[in-house]
Structure 1
Amino acid sequence: MPLRFATRASEAYDFPLTIGHLLDAALTSAADQEIVYRDRVRMTYRDLRVRIGRLASALAGLGVGQGTVVAMMDWDSHRYLEAYFAIPMMGAVLQTVNVRLPIAQIGYTLRHAEAEVVICHRDFLPALEALLPTLEGVTAVVVIDDGADEPASFAGAGEYEALLAAADPVFPFVEFDENALATTFYTTGTTGDPKGVCFSHRQIVLLALATKGPFGTTRDPGFGIGDVYMPLTPMFHVHAWCLPYVATLLGVKQVYPGRYEADMICRLRTTEHVTYSHCVPTVLQMIFAAADKAGTDLVGWTMTIGGSALTHALWEEGKRRGMSIGAGYGMSETGPTLTMARRNTGSADAASDVDALTPAGIPIALVSLRVVDEAMCDVSHDGVSRGEVVVRAPWLTPCYIGNAEASRELWRGGWMHTQDVATISSSGRVVICDRLKDVIKTGGEWIPSLELEDLIASLPEVAEVAVVGVPDKRWGERPVAVVVAAVGAPSLDTINTPITAAIERGDLSRYARLDRVEIVDALPRTSVGKIDKKALRFMLT
């Protein structure tokens, strides 16, 4: 009988794509698998489910219900994982607060999101206490003592562990529309106030499934059953790239490092046998330095790198240490994953690998990605022609909360505009060339700062580098390299050596040659570890 004539069973279950269902398989197949927090807490997935129920009961006792915004201010921990589930499963909204923002911006995000309950680690209590007189909507603060000998001076509505211990582990979770809002957080733009983005249950579940997809079809680098997972992207930032949800979906062992301390990260890598992590390049460089000091073996540790470009030099350093490293690409507005790097089919050649694994990669399942010119016409898929990346996928934020003008600009023409300049090859491989705002316009030509940075980073004298355009009366702009030296202070001629070679090969315009280099002790960073090019441009002009 054709399906269109079939009679639906009256008790057939309409399975909603809600976050709670990401737990189902793990509780069946991996209930005794470990979840670890630093060297302080060990529990199982079975324990996690009990604590999720207790957290929901405790929050309900504080007046949290469907639609209530609950803000989380904590280091990466098992508690954050509990909040990832318990709060959305109640039908409430989890706000992951960027605790690295300036205090005034933290206050802005709490007010703008209309947070009513704040769960706050004792380390952030001084900031929150200072803000409370301005947070009229906040009705309760739950304090995380985190095992400290003395309780925090600010008691709030109670201490996290004490509230959970007194709460009922059996919470009556009910089902609701999968399109209900689940999470919100704020982007760290370089101008103006942070912009709020939001995601539904359905979007997060689809993103978790699609994020897992590339790993299931890629030999290496990969992440799957049998791995030990430790996030090194803050859990307040874009759901830690959604990978705690993926790890829970798979039922793998999870390790949470708390505050990012290089020695602790290396110790956990060794004692817990961590095999998969993800981070920005800055964190990977920190791990290399700490591993050298502690003698930590990094062989077999797989890393996905995002947030900033993965240079050839950083990839090769990881390979030298026995690591498997590949790039990923996305942004806060995309939840984040849009593309993942993968090896060329059948390749076992290191030279081919570095070219395949350092760019943004191939669009993952359910992502429609185009590279377009200013008229929204597709550029040639030749790996050379440049345009802006625009995307559609079922998990992209529908708006900036309360900012209609910015939302219209984001979704101009029915496609999300990333403001990233890229090329795309005939096989779909995306290479990010620059941010639109960071492209250097000099001598009538566009010079991609990322290409210059990759060339300069290959020099042994260079530890870190950023290239920005500064105003020039004759040329409009000129590129300037800001370098953290590895040894001594590299000269302008040394810095220009690989750039000159690229010009002679025809890979770069002759206008790319530098006439200025600045040596600094450290590069300025944003709150999520990216190089702050706005601050550099201000410093250089």
Structure 2
Amino acid sequence: MPGGTDQTLQPFAWRAETLYPDTEIVSRTHEGIVRSDYSEYADRTAQLANALDAAGYGDGERIGTVCWNHHRHFETYFGVPGMGAQLHTINPLLPDKHIQYIVENAADRTIFVDQSFLPKVEGAVADDPESFASVDRYVVMGGQVPETELDAVAYESFIEGHSTTYDWPTLDEERPAGLCYTSGTTGKPKGVEYTQQMLWSHTMALQTPQGIPVADDDVVMPVVPMFHVNAWGLPFSTTAGGAKHVYPGPQPEPADLAALIEDEGVTLTAGVPTVWLGLMEYVEDNDVDLSSLDRLVVGGSAAPEAMIRFFDDHDVELIHAWGMTETAPVGTVAHVKADLEDADYETRLDKRTKQGLIVPGLEFRVVDDAGEAVPHDGEAFGELHVRGPWVTTEYFARPEATEAEFVDGYLKTGDVVTVDGDGYIKIVDRAKDVIKSGGEWISSVELENELMAHEAVAEAAVIGVPHERWQERPLALVVPTEDADTGTLEAGLREHILASYPKWWVPDSVVVIDEVPKTATGKFNKQALRAEYGDESLVEGRVPEDAAPER
């Protein structure tokens, strides 16, 4: 791939192919483990680009993917934007109506789809064919196409016979390279375009010591889905660093992840907390060798303190990070600052449980309801606003959403945060999830983390429920561990919360549930919980007078 003066993705792939042609790309697929290297990767991305050209797709057109993490999906990451088209990763876990809206809004020309997701796509198309009117071909990721009513071709057939060289164009850095939609839990999904320059600058920021740097001796396994904000940018930064890729494929179980870590020598991996909770349970019950693993990145929601301690005990550094679809996505990383490295373990742990320090290249501010800046004292609450080279400044074809979510060049993140004197940002809630009780704020996220620190709790979510006197009161919904005594659970949890928080923070009720519902990106679905459990009778009259907020 040629380079140029503009900041694009092309030099990353060129460097890997040129300097590390024999470095492996390992992929767990429906067909088993597939191994290749950067040299073969360069050939196959060229074939893909030639195939897209021959099919009539190209300059600025959007190419959709509905795929797991594997080598073929990775080929689209450089093959599609490298030839001037735009890669649109589609989250298959979204409701059909959201996928229909996304495809129609993006006007995708073709969709690459995994065999296991084919029924999902078929159902969405059958239910609303007009929303897929722009799509004239489906490419099934594999060597063959199962029986389907869609106009589909197998990926290997699609690229077969095409040249392994390609005349990669010189691209403008402002050319759209990627497209990803928000999960749409509060309305229609919003599209976020990533230009070549945005993805380049995000990759370079990750490669700084204050980011999540990848070296050529690393072995990187992104468990966070490649359909979720470019797997947090790891396919790009891993390539830029010339490191080995390991893709865990379709629906990896904890046993699959453990085996890949052991067999491939994974040094860096990343995913949401629920993934690592599953791995923790597996490690406790099985003989698992984690000795190769240096770093484990957690994002999407906060990691419980117990999780950080668990991996510390296994000599694995758990790194907290924060970001959004709109920030491409990494915005903060919780590294320990140099002047804190000699502090005691508990002090350092406190910093690591926060979302962290703003990544070099970005700016932020925290403002209250009146738009005034709040002090960095670790206590004052406010909404986090961010801006920078890889933060979007508008939504795709949604001017009304753009007007509502951006101010003074900043993205209004919707996250309520505190910032301590060392500059560490801590998310205390989403703006829509913070609980206002008697005019005072209660952080549902802090309560959830404290509940999940209790040995009898596997998962916990907290929502605000209407209250006649106090406006809102917290309700806890918990999934107990297998050996928990549910008869004494509520009293035990109340006592546990009181050890760290005032009485008025203690949830008025504790409801035992089988599972906390998740959004399509693996976060707790508070909207669904509020719909099912937002009944005032669950908390009415239960808050004692001495547990009310002090005014």
Name the TM-score, length of structure 1 as normaliser. 0.92
Residue 215 of structure 1, CA deviation: 5.0
CA distance in 2, matches of 1:299, 1:535: 40
CA contact (8 A) 1:227 1:276 kept: yes
Residue identity in the other structure for 2:272: V
Q: After superposition, where does 1:107-122 map in structure 2 within 5 Å?
A: 107-122=100-115
Structure 1 CA distance for aligned equivalents of residues 161 and 124 of structure 2: 29
Deviation, 1:92, is: 0.6
Alpha-carbon displacement from aligned partner over 1:326-349 (angstroms, at most 9, x marks no partner): 100111111111110012422363
Matched, 1:136 2:133: yes
Determine which of 158, 166, 174 is the counterpart of 2:153: 158
User: 2:46, 2:165 within 8 Å by CA — same for their partners in 1?
Assistant: yes
Are residues 1:286 and 2:281 paired?
Answer: no
1:230 corresponds to 2:221: yes
Contact 1:280 1:308 in 2 (8 A): yes
Percent identical: 36
CA displacement 1:188-227 (0-9 Å, x = unmatched): 02122211111100000000001121357xxxx8643311
Q: Distance in 1 between matches of 2:4 and 2:40?
A: 28
Which of 405, 413, 421 is 2:408 aligned to?
A: 413
Counterpart in the other structure of 2:196: 201
Counterpart secondary structure, 1:536: helix
For 1:498, the equivalent position in structure 2 comes to 496
Return the match for 2:5 from 15, 21, 44: 15
Match of residue 126 from structure 1: 119
Residue by residue over 1:39-64, the C-alpha shift from the partner in whole angstroms, topping out at 9 and shown as x without a partner, is 42111111111111000011111111
CA distance in 1, matches of 2:284, 2:377: 41
1:358 and 2:353 equivalent?
yes
Aligned match of 1:26:
16
Paired with 1:64 and 1:442, the residues of 2 have a C-alpha distance of: 55
Shift of 1:300: 4.9
SS in 2 for 1:399: coil
- CA 1:524–1:155 in 2, change beyond 3 Å: closer, same or farther? closer
Residue 166 of structure 1: SS of its match in structure 2? coil
Structure 1 distance, partners of 2:531, 2:184, is 16
Residue 528 (structure 1) aligns with: 521
Closer/same/farther in 2, CA of residues 377 and 86 from structure 1, 3 Å limit = same
Compare 94-103 and 487-496 and name the one that shifted more.
487-496
Q: Which whole-Å CA distance do the structure 2 matches of 1:242 and 1:90 have between them?
A: 19
More displaced stretch, 164-173 vs 177-186: 164-173
Aligned residue for 1:9? none
Aligned with residue 209 of structure 2, among 214, 221, 237? 214
Map of 1:307 onto structure 2: 300
Pair 1:387 & 2:382 matched: yes
- Give the CA deviation at 1:235: 0.3
1:10 counterpart residue number: none
Equivalenced residue count is: 518
Q: Per-residue deviation at 1:165? A: 2.2
SS in 2 for 1:464: strand
Partners of 1:452 and 1:525 in 2: CA distance: 18
| Correspondence for 1:374 among 360, 369, 372 | 369
- CA deviation vs aligned residue, 1:215-246 (integer Å, no higher than 9, x gap): 57xxxx86433111000100011111111100
For residues 152 and 445 of structure 2, the distance between their equivalents in structure 1, rounded to whole angstroms, comes to: 49
SS in 1 for 2:464: strand
Q: Is the 8 A contact 2:207 2:213 kept in 1?
A: no
1:327 has 2:320 as partner: yes
Give 3-state SS (helix, strand or coil) of 1:492's partner: helix
Q: Equivalent residue for 1:433?
A: 428
Deviation at 1:164, TM superposition (A): 1.8
| Superposition deviation, residue 261 in structure 1 | 1.9
| Alignment match of 1:276 (pick from 252, 268, 272) | 268
Among 67, 84, 90, the residue aligned to 2:83? 90
Q: CA deviation at 1:131?
A: 3.8
Give per-residue Cα distances to partners, 1:81-117, cap 9 Å, x unaligned: 1101011011111110101112222121111100011
Match of residue 256 from structure 1: 247
Distance 1:408 1:347 in 2: 46
Stretches of structure 1 that go unaligned for 5 or more consecutive residues are: 1-12, 504-508
Deviation of 1:152 after TM superposition, in Å, equals: 4.6
* Amino acid corresponding to residue 139 of structure 1 in structure 2: D
CA RMSD, Structure 1 to Structure 2 (Å): 1.8
Equivalence for 2:545? none
- Residues 1:215 and 1:248: Cα distance change in structure 2 (over 3 Å): farther
Residue-by-residue CA offset, 1:288-321 (whole Å, 9 max, x unaligned): 2233444222345221111101221221222233
Partner of residue 177 from structure 2, selected from 179, 182, 185: 182
Is residue 210–residue 359 contact of structure 2 (8 Å, CA) maintained in 1?
no
Whole-angstrom distance in 1 between the partners of 2:491 and 2:53: 65
**Alpha-carbon shift at residue 535 of structure 1 (Å):** 1.0
SS in 2 for 1:315: helix
Cα distance in 2 for partners of 1:151, 1:449 equals 46
CA-to-partner distance for each residue in 1:262-303, whole Å, 9 max, x for gaps?
122221111101111111101111222233444222345221
Structure 2: how far apart are the matches of 1:189 and 1:116? Answer: 23
TM-score by length of 2: 0.90
| Structure 2 Cα separation of the partners of residues 49 and 407 of structure 1 | 38
Q: Deviations over 1:162-186 (max 9, x none)?
A: 2222111122211121100111111
Contact 1:99-1:124 at 8 Å conserved across structures: yes
Q: Distance in 1 between matches of 2:7 and 2:424?
A: 30
Q: Is the 2:456–2:489 Cα contact (8 Å) retained in structure 1?
A: no
SS of residue paired to 2:215:
coil
**CA displacement at 1:380 relative to structure 2:** 1.0
Offset, 1:375: 3.2
1:356-384: CA deviation from partner (whole Å, max 9, x where unpaired): 21111001111101111233322112222
- 5+ residue gaps, structure 2: 535-551
- The C-alpha deviation readout for 1:438-460, integer Å capped at 9, x for no partner, is 11111221111112122222211
Query: Which residue identity does 2:353 align to in structure 1?
Result: T
